[in-house]
Structure 1
C-alpha cells in the first residue's frame, strides 16, 4: 500500500491542478498561457502541478479584480444596492395591500361556503337505524 501512495498523490495533484487551470479565467493566469500550463501539468510529474500552484495560479488580488462591478457592501445581495428598491415604491405597496385584502375576503367567503356545505351534509346524512351500531366492526 505505501508504494501506491506516491501514485495516488501525484494523480490527485494532477487532477486538482488540471481542473483549477481549466477553470481559471484566461486573462488572470500568470506567467504562461493556459494551454502551456495544461501541458506542463500533464507531462512533468510533480514539478508541473507544483509550478502551477506556485507560479501560474491566479492570486486572490487578481481574482478579485476579474469582476470590477461586484460590490461586497451588501454581502452579495445586489438588489439592495439598486436605486428605487420595492420598499420605496408606494404605488406597488398600495397594490399589494389591495390584493392582500381581496385575497383575505375571498378566503373568508370560501371558508363560510365550506362550513355551510359541511353543516348541510351533517343534517342530510342518514344515521344508523335505531338499535344498530355505527357499522364499525370494533364496536358492538
Structure 2
C-alpha cells in the first residue's frame, strides 16, 4: 500500500495544478500565456516539474495576513474604476442607494398587498352577511 503513496501524491499535485491553472483568469497568470502553462503542467507532470513550476512561477500572488479576500482581490484588480480601493458596504454610496430603492419598492408592494387584503376581507364580509333588505339590515331568520 505504501508503495503507491508517492504515485498518488504526484497525481494529486498534478491534478491540483492543472485545475488551478484552468480556473485562474487569463489576465492573472504570470510569466507565460495560460495555454503554455497548461501544456507545461500536462507534459511535465509526471516528473513534478510542470506542477511545481506553475505553483512557483505561474500562479497569481495573493496577499494573506491582513490582505484582501479573493473576492475582494478580484473586484479590486479587474479595472472597475474604483481606484483599486475596497470600500465597506456601509460607506459605499451606490450600495446605500440600492438599499433605499429596494426599501421603496418593498413599501409599495406592502401597500398593494394591504389594499388587496382589505378588499378581500370586505368581499368575505359581504358574502357572510348574506342578502340585505336594502337598508343594511339583514332579514329576520326563518324559522
CA-to-aligned-CA distance 1:67-89 (integer Å, 9 cap, x gap): 243745129x9972446832675
Cα-Cα RMSD: 3.7
Q: How many residues align?
A: 113
Which residue in 2 is equivalent to 1:6? 6
* Mapping 1:15-34, distance limit 5 Å: 15-34=15-34
- For the 8 Å contact 1:41–1:48, the answer to whether it is kept is yes
- Structure 1 segments of 4 or more deviating over 3 A? 81-84, 92-98, 109-116
Please list every run of 5 or more consecutive structure 1 residues that lacks an aligned counterpart in the other structure: 117-140
How far residue 94 of structure 1 moved from its aligned partner, in angstroms, is 6.4
Q: Partners of 2:58 and 2:79 in 1: how far apart?
A: 22
TM-score by length of 1: 0.60
State the structure with more CA Rg: 1
How far residue 11 of structure 1 moved from its aligned partner, in angstroms, is 1.1
* Mapping 1:69-108, distance limit 5 Å: 69=80, 71-74=86-89, 80-82=95-97, 85-86=100-101, 89=104, 92=105, 95-108=108-121
CA separation of 1:84/1:42 partners in 2, compared to 1, >3 Å: closer, same or farther?
Answer: closer
Please list every run of 5 or more consecutive structure 2 residues that lacks an aligned counterpart in the other structure: 64-69, 130-143
CA-to-aligned-CA distance 1:28-83 (integer Å, 9 cap, x gap): 1111111221121112221211111111101126x7243243745129x9972446
- For the 8 Å contact 1:79–1:85, the answer to whether it is kept is no
